[in-house]
Amino acid sequence: MNLLTGFLFRRKKAEGYPGKGLFSKPEPLRRAIVYRELCRGCGDCESVCYYRKIRVEKKGRAHVSRGCSGCAACRSVCPSGAIIMIEND
């Protein structure tokens, strides 16, 4: 068994690594939550979201869908402070 083969067959999780493992995409450590009472529906958060996970609904309130990466770009541009970041469990 050469070095590369030995490395590939050892698929164990790295110590202290919060993700799924060595060959998978890691889980995000936080995600965005929108306080709908404070949201004005301006759409700034929707325009800045790189992953397209936040949308302004027809009712004029923002909604964060599953798969939010937790980059906090939406929080930084929200003029009303309606978006907060929470830790994933």
pLDDT at 60 over 70: yes
pLDDT of residue 87: 87
- Per-residue pLDDT, averaged over 19-44, amounts to 77
Straight-line distance from the first to the last Cα atom of the chain, in angstroms, rounded to the nearest whole number: 39
Tell which wins on pLDDT, 47 or 19.
Answer: 47
- Per-residue pLDDT, averaged over 27-50, amounts to 88
For the domain covering 28-89, report its CATH number.
3.30.70.20
Share of the chain above pLDDT 70, in %: 67
With 0.75 as the threshold, say if the pTM is over it: no
Mean pLDDT of the chain: 78
Structure tokens at 75: 């929080």
